[in-house]
Structures are given as C-alpha cells and as structure tokens.
Chains A and B, each alone.
Chain A
Amino acid sequence: MKNIIKCCKGNILYIIAAPLLKLCEAALELLVPVIMAEIIDKGIIIQNKNYVFKNGLILIVLSVSCFVISVISQYFSAKASANTVKNLRQKAYSHILNLSHSQIDKVGASSLITRLTGDMNGIQTGINLTLRLILRSPFVVFGACFMAVRIDKNASPVFFGVLVSLCVIVFLIMFFCVPLNEKVRIALDNVLKSSKDALTGIKVIKAFCLEMKFADEFKVKNAALVKKQKVVGKISALTNPLTSLAVNSGITALIYTGALRVETGVITIGVLVALYNYLNQILVELVKLANLIITVSKSLACVKRVDFILNLSEPEYAKELPAASDDVKIEFRDVYFKYPEACEASLKNISLSLSSNEIIGVTGSTGSGKTTFVNLICGLYPVSDGTIELNGKNINEINREYLNSIISSVPQKSRLFSGTVRSNLVVSNPDADDNMMVQALKDSGCSDFILNNAKGLETPVLNGGQNFSGGQRQRLCIARVLLKKSNVFLFDDSFSALDSVTESNIRNVIKTKYKDKLIIIVSQRIPSIMQCDKILIFDEGTVQTGTHSSLLKESVAYCEMYKSQFGEENKNE
C-alpha cells in the first residue's frame, strides 16, 4: 500500500479533486427532492404556476451542472489511476531487473508477468472506482439520512433501521463471498493448469492414447470449479432480494408512521414524499457501494501480489573495483555449493585455477555440476563454502557491473529480443559500429542468413527469435557476445544446435582471435573440447582436471563419455 501512495506523486491534485467534485455532484443531487417537495407544497397546493416554473428551471440548471462536474471528476480519477499505475508498473519493472537470479526463479517468470500486467489492471480499476465513490457513496447515504431527519425528526427510527439492516446484509454477504471467491479462483487455476498440461503434452497424450483419461481428469477439476461457483452464486443471489426487502419494509413503515404524523399536522404531504424519495436514493447508492467493496477487495489482492515483488530486497552488490588489468585469474578454493532447496551439494570440494591465454573445456554428465560451475563464475549465486577469487579478490565482494563487464557468457538457451538483428547486437555493446557488428556476425557464422540477406543488420527478429532456426539463434547469440569487450568468454553448451562444420569454424575463429583471453567452453560433445588446453570433467559434483590424453588414461568418467561417442575402437587413434 505504501508503494502505491509513493507512486501517487504528481497526481495529488487529481486525487484530491476527483472525490471532492463527486461530493459536490452528490450534494447537488440531494437538493432535487427538496426542490420537488417545494414545488408540490408551495406550487401545486397554493396553485402558484410561476413558482412551479421557477423551481423547474432550477432543476434543469442543477442537472446540467451535475453533468459538467461529474465529467470533470471522471476525467480526474481516470487520469490519477492511469498515472499512478504507470508509475507503479515502471517501478516494479526496474525493481525486477535489479533482483537476483534466485529471487526471479523463486517467483517464476509467468507469475512476474501476470503481476506486471493483470494485477496492475486490477489495481487501476480499484483506484479509479475508489476515487469516484469513496466520498460520494457515504455522503449520499448519510446525507439522505441527515436531510430526512432534518425535515422530520420522527422519521429517524425508520431510516436508522433501514440503514443498519442494509449494512448488515452487505457485510454478511461480503464476509462469506470474499473467501469463497478466492477458492473459486484457486479452482479456476486448477482447471487452467489441467488444460494447459493437456495441450502442451498433446503429442504424448495422443501417442499414449490418453485422450479420454485427460478429458476425464479435466471434468473432475471442472466439476469442482462449478460446484464452488454455485455456492458463491447462491450467496450473492441474496443481495438484491434482501436489499429490496429491507427498503420496501422501510417504505411501509415510513408511510404508516408518516400518515400518523400528517394526520396530526406535524408534517405535510410534501415532506412525506421527500422522505420516500430519500429512502429510494439510499437504496440505489448502497447497491453501488456493494459493487465498490467487491472490486476493492479484488484489487487489494492484486496490491498484495505487487507489494510482494516490490518488497523483495534488492541484493546488495559489493562495491569493490579491482585494479584494471587485461589478465584474468580465477581461483576456486575448496568450493562447496548447494542449491537452497536441494538435499545434496551440487559441487563438492572444487579447487582449481583458470587464467588468461587458456582455452578451458568443461564436460560431464547431466546434473554433474557443469552449469552450476559456470553460474558460480558469473557470480550468480554465493558459494556455500570455500572461496572463488578473481585476480586475488573474493568474487562475491567484487562490483557486479565490473564483473559483468569482464565476463561474457552465452547461456544454454538462446534468447533473442524482438526487434532487429542490430537491436539485438547492441544489447551487449551500445557503442558498436556497423563494421564491428558485421565482423562479429562473420565470426559467428551468420554470414549466410544475415549478411547475405538484403536487409542485413535490419533483418527483423520476431518474438523470441521464432523466425530463425535453433542453430541460427545460437549463432546470433554468439555474435552478440563476441561484440562485447570482455576478458572471459563463457560458452555454456552454446554449440549444441550447430552442425559440426559450423561449430568447428566458429571454434577456430575464437581460438585465433581471442588467444589472449580466457575461453571456457562447456559441452557434452568430446570433439568440441578435446583440443582445449585444459579439460575439466565433472562427475557427481567433483572435478578432475587434465588434457584429452591424460584424462583418457586417468578419468573413468571421461573414458566412458569418449567411448559412448566414438566407440571402443577409436580410443588409441
């Protein structure tokens, strides 16, 4: 909630003016029954046509001014809510970009997206409606009561009774409906999950002939949803009938007691008519108020979800800037690493050293710890035990941006942003000129599909790079990284979708052009790494270091991998 208030900045005027204007409108509306009563009492009964005419004109002027005022206030509240949510969304987005990797993992990408879009809309609607009704509704209800009591004190018990019973009805319905509605939403989530599951796995389902089974499972979840919806439906079905019961009983009581007082001459008929109108006005306004409460309770849930994100503390990044140097030395000392929710350590007792002018190959089975090793070098997670040093400084104490500037990595999954090839390349180096880009594209083997293409650097990239094949995407990602001026280049399984020719070409370019850098190539394919200066083979969290020939003799895991890829007979080639 605090976050929203902060985001209101610059819109205070609108936020204050909108409800106040609404208040004016309501106040003017309350005058209508009073004037009508005057028309009846002084105009009709005294037969004064002039008076009727004059007051009738006042009624028309009133309705015109109500209209003008309410249009202005609708504009203000729309403006205030749109602007506030715009600020909030921007804030949440920059905040997300500043969070750490593990924080993002925890919340999940799809949840972050719905929080920035759907939930933000929910908040916007909530603010908009609140601004419009927060002063108006209570004012109309209490104002109508006040006016009624002012013209006839004796009517107060009836008004009080109607008011209290309406409050009780609205409150009780809210009390039962809000938690039940949450349950409906959970049930709807289940239905969604079930259909999503079924459709993403459609090929497997068809291959296994499981159509009926999945349809049946869906039916069960759907039935649970319908059941919960019906329960909520039954309770909310009470709203209208109960409110009209309360108001009509009030009307009966009002006419009866009013008649008594008219007979004794305490009030006039005009007053009785006015009282009757006030009671009707209260009814209309309360229905609106109930809708407001439902909307606000929904948008409060959205506020909670957005607040959760904004309250995640941004990780404190160390400030230390090591002395600038082109040579890089990375040293692992007795490093242990365990993921927060895992039972077993992913890396155990890793000690090794890597430095510039080296090409390092990293290999190992699925889940052996390769990717974890890479993530630790990039400083994405703090180690559980031991230290990692970069040029003698603990990597977790080094300034984040500095670390990012000297280490570039091509991650396993190739990610492109929608735009053009150029806009994707400048992400890694905003100062890159056309020549640099063309060179990077040549080096990464993109000549055939980008440079030889009429549009060249302006070739469009669709969402997620769908218009390129997996291998083309990987090559573009490599080009992007090559543009960056770093000292360490990390290729995490980034050749997997390339055919052998393209891959070996790219590796050769890297070998010759980036000789003086530290190059780390992670791959499951032995040919990709067998010529590296040093090979690290990971096995169940431990590491063994050597060259291709030494590992063939010393490492069982390496031998097995080799055999599995080349067959027995080639071993002594």
Chain B
Amino acid sequence: MNNKLMIGRLFKYIGKRKFQLIFSLFCAVITSVFSLYIPVLAGKGIDCVAFSSVDWLTLKSILIKILIFTLLSVLSQLTMNCINNNLSYETVGEIRNSALSKSLRLPLFFIDRISGGDIVSRIINDGDILADGLILGLAQLFTGIVTIIGTLIYMLLINPKAAAVVIVLTPMSMVISGFISKKSFVLFKKRSEAEGKLTSLTDESVNGFDIIKSNSGEDSFNKKFSLLNSEYADNSLKALFVSSLTNPSTRFVNSMIYAVVGIIGAFSAISGQLSVGLLTVFLSYAGQYAKPFNEISGVIAELQSSFAGAERIFEIIDEKEEIYYGKEMNSSVSGNVQVNSVDFSYSKDKKILTDINLSAKAGENIAIVGSTGCGKTTLVNLLMRFYKPDTGEILIDGDNIQDFSLSSLRHSFGMVLQDTWVKTASVRENLCLYNNKISFEEMIEKAKTCHAHSFISKLPNGYDTVISDDYGLSQGQKQLINITRVMISDPKILILDEATSSVDTRTEAKIQDAFSSLMEGKTSFIVAHRLSTIVNCDKIVVMKNGQIIEQGKHNELYASGGEYTKMINYAMNKA
C-alpha cells in the first residue's frame, strides 16, 4: 500500500471528525503565523529603543500587541493539541476495534498462517505506533510547513542576501539528518534481530528452567547468554551512537548558519542596509528556520514507521471474513450427519483428507481413531466448518452445511478440544460463556456431573474466583472447565477431540457417564486414543494417511484382524 492510499484509508476513519480536523488545521495556521510574528514585533520593539532615545508610544503599543498575540497563539495551540490528541486516540481506538472484531470473524487458516500472537502485536503495538505518529504528524507537519513558508517570506523581505545563505545552507542539515536516519534505521534493525535472539534464549531458559537446573546447566547457559548479550550490546551501542548524531550535526549546521548570517548581517548593518533590531530578528529566524526542517524530517520518518504499522493492521481489516449468512437450521434438527467423498488440503502440495465417506445416524456415537497426523482433527474441523472441503459435501439432515448460517450451524455443535482455554474472568463466567440464562443451582449441578465442582469449591472465591490461562490450574482442571462449559451449552451434536486426554482415566470414566446421559439421542463424534473411550461407541472409524481404512463396531473390527486389532493389542499390552 503506498502512502497516498494509506492516507486515504486513515481519512476514512478520521472522516466522521472532519470538522475537528479542519478546525485543528486552522488553529495550526494561526499558531504558526502568530509565533512567527511575535519575534518580528520583538525586533521592532528593540528598534524603538535604538540609540538611547526611546519611542515609548510605539514601544508600548508593540508590547501590548505581543501580549495579545501570545495569548491568541496560546489558545489556538492548546485547542489544536487537544483536538489532535482526541482525534488520534479515537481513530486508533476505532481501528483497533474493527481489527479485533474482524480478526475474530476471519477464517481459521488466516490465523493459523500469521499466528494469534502476531495479530495481538499488530493490534496493540502497531496501534500505539500509529497513534504516536498521528499525533506528531498532525501537530508538526502542518505547523512546520506553514512556519517554513512564513519564515522564508519574512527573511526575503528583510534581507534577500542573507536569506539566500540560509536557504542554500539549510538543506545541508536535512541531507545530513536523512543520511543518519537511513544509517541508523539499518542499525536499529540489526539491533532488533539481536534482541529477538536474546529474547528467545531468555524465553527458552525461563521455560526450560527445571531442565537447566536439574542438569546443572547454569554455566553453559550463562555463557550462551553472555555471547548474545555482547552481540546485542554492540549493536545497541552502534545504533544509539549513530542515531544520537542527528542533533549535534543539525546543531552544527545551524550554528554555522548563525555565524555566517551574523557576519553578513553585520556587514550589511555597517553599510546601513540593515537595522540592529532587524539583524536580531534575522538571526533568531536563521535558527528557527532550520528547526521545522529537522522536525519535518523527523515527522516523516515517524509517519513512515506508523504507516508501516497501519498497513499491518489494515491487512487484517481487509482480509475476507467467513461467510456468516445462510439459512437458519431447524431447531428440531435430528442430527443425521453424512460426509460424501470429501477431499481436503491446507496447501496445494499436500493432501490431508482423501475421499472421506461417513454417515452417522441421529443419536449414534462415532469414534475416530488413528495415529497422530492421520487427519482426525481435520475431519472434525470440517464438520464445524472451520475449513471448507475442496471437493465433496457434508450434510446434516440432508442439507449441505455450507448453506446454513454459521451461527445456527455452530450452535448445534458442542466441541471440546485437546487444547484447553480459559478466559480471564470468573469461573462462573467461564462456565456460562454460551448459556448465561442458566441458574446458579443448575450450573453447580452441571459442574458436579462433570467433576469440576470439588476443585472449583476449593478455589479462594469458589465460582467467583477470577481465573486466567496462567492462574495455576492444571491442564486437567482447565479441561474440566471446558467440558462443563459444553455441558451447560447443551448442544445437538457433540464433538470431543481428544477432550479427555489431559484428564485421568478415572475422572474420564465419570465424565463419560455424564456425557452419555447428555448425549442420549444426539449424534457425537469422539476422537480419542484411549481404548476405554472407544469400545462402547456405535461405530468406530479407523483412519490412516487421510483415508478411512476400516469402519464398524468394536467386536467386528477386532475380529477382522486388521489395523484396529493391532492397535488394540498394543494398547492392551499384549504385543
């Protein structure tokens, strides 16, 4: 996306606040014109004092003018600052909102591709960079331009010769600062790379703390760290030093300009072309004139990086979301599921599922088994419409699931995944995420059925304890919360994807009890490697390399002596 397009995008968000923006620009003009005019007035004031005879009348009126203009410029600057702040924060706030709600509506493969952590960093960090850039850009870009033009005009009016010197010399400081910022950009990038390495080593050592300690590996890790630490410090030093040269260099150019203008001005004054007061004004302009140039080059660099940030956010916002609309599913759906010759691949070069045919009558329990990577989870993901089959169709009660509205389709499913997830919120809120109409007593009842009640009641505030992913619950406990959550949502079709693998078998057996009563008359798909979970299912589907190789009841399959028999024998430890 080029800068012009980006500005257009940003304007769309600012759009609603167009009048604020226009008013802020108006204030910028007033502020810069007045702040330019005040030194002129001061210079004229000093001229009134010239040669020990003071023109009091003029001086007083000039001084009063200075005070009035100061007040006006203070007011307009204050208004401008406030408007700019509000404008930037609100705009970024809105962009953040649409980025997050969009990212939740994106198809899963997008999030798989760029990872959730990266999206968070785009929303938070890049949003911050954008806000900073906008505030600075709005505040300084416009005032800077107005100031430069104004100063140029004034200087040319006062003394064209000296003005020419300033105009010729000032770009030098811009060239220098541009050169430095290019150099330091490269160095900062190197520094970030070194920082990345350092961060991942720190991450590994904190997370692998136990292993390092139990192997007394402190010394070798200290050495590794020290190496990366030195590398980082070196890069850091270079980046800091080079970037810190901007100020001294531009100051150097400015002071050279000051000296040259001073000499030329003094000669002009001697030859009577310039008054002492005007020379003073001119000198202060010479200093001031360079300042907005430096600021603008800074602002442009800042804007570049904030546009880069904005681009990363807009990438999310522009992504195509899942198709949500469709016909509503009949609430009395019975739950006949039919999978007809479905093929699927995440990327073109690797097929994950080939010619899957499967039918589940309403109320049946279907177990899906097979070794890791055989496509079990992918199949389940297709049922939930997290992904779309390449060919073939999936029908519920004879209707293609692609035709239903996403919400009515997913509402009919209850899903417990291998990865547990808890929201940063109270236990109660976590349990009632989907069904918040349930009464407290009913909720406790369900929690008891799922064997979650006993550990929840031991938490400091029981059901009101605020938990989060790193609160200190064990994997098994988090899974019990997830299971209770689905239990409370009371779905039509149940999907258990290795749901109980982090729960011990005893508790699992109890939960199975609870599930079987819940699932009475409802279809369920169970992905599991535990024998106990599988044997009692109505149908067992054995998968290998993305294909279904065997289907049937436990006894039939076990007797057939195929892949399933091998698996069971190993599991029973008879191998």
> Does A293 have its Cβ within 8 Å of any Cβ on chain B?
no
Question: Which of these binds chain B: A142-150, A388-396, A497-505, A511-519?
Answer: A497-505
Residues on B with beta carbons closer than 8 Å to the beta carbon of A364 = 504
Given A62-B255, A206-B386, A565-B530, 5 extra CB contacts under 8 A: A203-B419, A207-B410, A273-B276, A404-B215, A484-B215
Q: What's the minimum C-beta distance from B317 to chain A, rounded to whole angstroms?
A: 13
> Does B399 have its Cβ within 8 Å of any Cβ on chain A?
no
Residues on A with beta carbons closer than 8 Å to the beta carbon of B270 = 43-44, 47, 49, 52
**A560 to B123, alpha carbons, bound, how many Å?**
49
Are the CB atoms of A59 and B237 closer together than 8 Å? no
Residues on B with beta carbons closer than 8 Å to the beta carbon of A427 = 211-212, 215, 217, 220
**A236 to B82, alpha carbons, bound, how many Å?**
9
Are the CB atoms of A63 and B252 closer together than 8 Å? yes
Out of A77, A101, A259, name the residue touching B54 (CB < 8 Å): A259
- A to B CB contacts below 8 Å, 16 in the list: A52-B267, A64-B252, A90-B222, A104-B206, A198-B100, A199-B120, A244-B70, A248-B38, A259-B59, A263-B53, A265-B52, A404-B214, A408-B214, A415-B204, A427-B215, A463-B204
Are the CB atoms of B570 and A500 closer together than 8 Å? yes
> Does A521 have its Cβ within 8 Å of any Cβ on chain B?
no
Are the CB atoms of A401 and B216 closer together than 8 Å? yes
> Does A130 have its Cβ within 8 Å of any Cβ on chain B?
no
Quick one: CB contact mask for A401-419 with B, threshold 8 Å, 1 for yes? 1001101110100010110
Interface of B is mostly: helix
Of B100, B256, B508, B535, most buried by chain A (CB within 10 Å of CB) is B100
> Does B266 have its Cβ within 8 Å of any Cβ on chain A?
yes
Out of A62, A192, A504, name the residue touching B120 (CB < 8 Å): A192
Q: What's the minimum C-beta distance from B568 to chain A, rounded to whole angstroms?
A: 9
Are the CB atoms of A255 and B45 closer together than 8 Å? yes
Q: What's the minimum C-beta distance from A132 to chain B, rounded to whole angstroms?
A: 8
> Does A97 have its Cβ within 8 Å of any Cβ on chain B?
yes
Q: What's the minimum C-beta distance from A227 to chain B, rounded to whole angstroms?
A: 9
Residues on A with beta carbons closer than 8 Å to the beta carbon of B572 = 527, 566, 570
**A401 to B219, alpha carbons, bound, how many Å?**
12
> Does A471 have its Cβ within 8 Å of any Cβ on chain B?
yes
Which residues, 195 to 247 on B, are CB-close (under 8 Å) to A?
195, 198-200, 202-218, 220-222, 225-226, 229-230, 232-234, 236-237, 240-241, 244-245, 247
Out of B131, B407, B567, name the residue touching A209 (CB < 8 Å): B407
> Does A325 have its Cβ within 8 Å of any Cβ on chain B?
no
> Does B483 have its Cβ within 8 Å of any Cβ on chain A?
no
Q: Which 10 A-B pairs have the closest CB atoms?
A: A233-B85, A366-B476, A237-B81, A215-B101, A500-B570, A564-B509, A199-B116, A63-B255, A56-B263, A59-B259
Closest A residue to B381 by beta carbon equals: A203
> Does A436 have its Cβ within 8 Å of any Cβ on chain B?
no
Are the CB atoms of B266 and A262 closer together than 8 Å? no
**A208 to B414, alpha carbons, bound, how many Å?**
8
Interface of A is mostly: helix
> Does B556 have its Cβ within 8 Å of any Cβ on chain A?
no
Residues on A with beta carbons closer than 8 Å to the beta carbon of B222 = 90, 93-94, 97
> Does A238 have its Cβ within 8 Å of any Cβ on chain B?
yes
**Contacts A206-B386, A207-B415, A367-B476 given: A201-B97 contact, CB under 8 Å?**
no
Q: Give how many A residues have a beta carbon under 8 Å from the other chain's beta carbons.
A: 165
Question: Which of these binds chain A: B71-79, B145-153, B155-163, B298-306?
Answer: B71-79
Closest B residue to A342 by beta carbon equals: B458
**A322 to B74, alpha carbons, bound, how many Å?**
78
Are the CB atoms of A365 and B506 closer together than 8 Å? yes
Quick one: CB contact mask for A16-46 with B, threshold 8 Å, 1 for yes? 0000000000000100100010011001110
Residues on A with beta carbons closer than 8 Å to the beta carbon of B104 = 198-199, 202, 205-206, 211, 214-215
Q: What's the minimum C-beta distance from A461 to chain B, rounded to whole angstroms?
A: 11
Are the CB atoms of A200 and B458 closer together than 8 Å? no
Residues on A with beta carbons closer than 8 Å to the beta carbon of B362 = none
Are the CB atoms of B251 and A234 closer together than 8 Å? no
Are the CB atoms of B81 and A251 closer together than 8 Å? no
> Does B402 have its Cβ within 8 Å of any Cβ on chain A?
no
Q: What's the minimum C-beta distance from A233 to chain B, rounded to whole angstroms?
A: 3
Q: What's the minimum C-beta distance from B524 to chain A, rounded to whole angstroms?
A: 15
Question: Which of these binds chain A: B86-94, B165-173, B390-398?
Answer: B86-94
> Does B439 have its Cβ within 8 Å of any Cβ on chain A?
no
**Contacts A60-B259, A63-B252, A564-B508 given: A52-B266 contact, CB under 8 Å?**
yes
> Does A98 have its Cβ within 8 Å of any Cβ on chain B?
yes
Quick one: CB contact mask for A76-99 with B, threshold 8 Å, 1 for yes? 011101110110011001101110
**A124 to B262, alpha carbons, bound, how many Å?**
40
Quick one: CB contact mask for A204-224 with B, threshold 8 Å, 1 for yes? 111111111011001100110
Question: Which of these binds chain B: A66-74, A170-178, A295-303, A450-458?
Answer: A66-74
Q: What's the minimum C-beta distance from B308 to chain A, rounded to whole angstroms?
A: 20
Out of B209, B244, B570, name the residue touching A101 (CB < 8 Å): B209
Are the CB atoms of A463 and B59 closer together than 8 Å? no
> Does A420 have its Cβ within 8 Å of any Cβ on chain B?
no
Closest A residue to B209 by beta carbon equals: A104
**A547 to B198, alpha carbons, bound, how many Å?**
49
Which residues, 180 to 206 on A, are CB-close (under 8 Å) to B?
188, 191-206
> Does B434 have its Cβ within 8 Å of any Cβ on chain A?
yes
Closest A residue to B81 by beta carbon equals: A237
**A225 to B373, alpha carbons, bound, how many Å?**
43
> Does B283 have its Cβ within 8 Å of any Cβ on chain A?
yes
Out of B52, B90, B247, B263, name the residue touching A52 (CB < 8 Å): B263
Out of A225, A273, A525, name the residue touching B505 (CB < 8 Å): A525
Are the CB atoms of A237 and B82 closer together than 8 Å? yes
Q: Give how many B residues have a beta carbon under 8 Å from the other chain's beta carbons.
A: 158
Closest B residue to A60 by beta carbon equals: B259
> Does A349 have its Cβ within 8 Å of any Cβ on chain B?
no
Are the CB atoms of A234 and B85 closer together than 8 Å? yes
Are the CB atoms of A199 and B531 closer together than 8 Å? no
Q: What's the minimum C-beta distance from B38 to chain A, rounded to whole angstroms?
A: 6
**A565 to B54, alpha carbons, bound, how many Å?**
107
Closest A residue to B284 by beta carbon equals: A280
Which residues, 100 to 159 on A, are CB-close (under 8 Å) to B?
101, 104-105, 108-110, 112-113, 116-117, 121, 124, 128, 132
**A44 to B264, alpha carbons, bound, how many Å?**
11
Q: What's the minimum C-beta distance from B52 to chain A, rounded to whole angstroms?
A: 6
Residues on B with beta carbons closer than 8 Å to the beta carbon of A234 = 82, 85
Which residues, 342 to 380 on B, are CB-close (under 8 Å) to A?
371-373
Closest A residue to B435 by beta carbon equals: A208
Q: What's the minimum C-beta distance from B519 to chain A, rounded to whole angstroms?
A: 17
> Does B526 have its Cβ within 8 Å of any Cβ on chain A?
no
Residues on B with beta carbons closer than 8 Å to the beta carbon of A527 = 571-573
**A285 to B226, alpha carbons, bound, how many Å?**
39
Are the CB atoms of A256 and B63 closer together than 8 Å? yes
**A111 to B505, alpha carbons, bound, how many Å?**
35
**Contacts A229-B89, A409-B214 given: A202-B111 contact, CB under 8 Å?**
yes
> Does A10 have its Cβ within 8 Å of any Cβ on chain B?
no
**A415 to B29, alpha carbons, bound, how many Å?**
61
Which residues, 58 to 75 on B, are CB-close (under 8 Å) to A?
59, 63, 66-67, 70-71, 73-75
Closest A residue to B529 by beta carbon equals: A499
Are the CB atoms of B209 and A249 closer together than 8 Å? no
Are the CB atoms of A561 and B460 closer together than 8 Å? no
Are the CB atoms of A32 and B458 closer together than 8 Å? no
Out of A112, A116, A269, name the residue touching B49 (CB < 8 Å): A269
Out of B263, B535, B571, name the residue touching A53 (CB < 8 Å): B263
Residues on A with beta carbons closer than 8 Å to the beta carbon of B476 = 366-367
Closest A residue to B373 by beta carbon equals: A469
Are the CB atoms of A233 and B53 closer together than 8 Å? no
**A40 to B283, alpha carbons, bound, how many Å?**
12
Are the CB atoms of B423 and A197 closer together than 8 Å? yes
Out of B233, B247, B266, B509, name the residue touching A82 (CB < 8 Å): B233
> Does B338 have its Cβ within 8 Å of any Cβ on chain A?
no
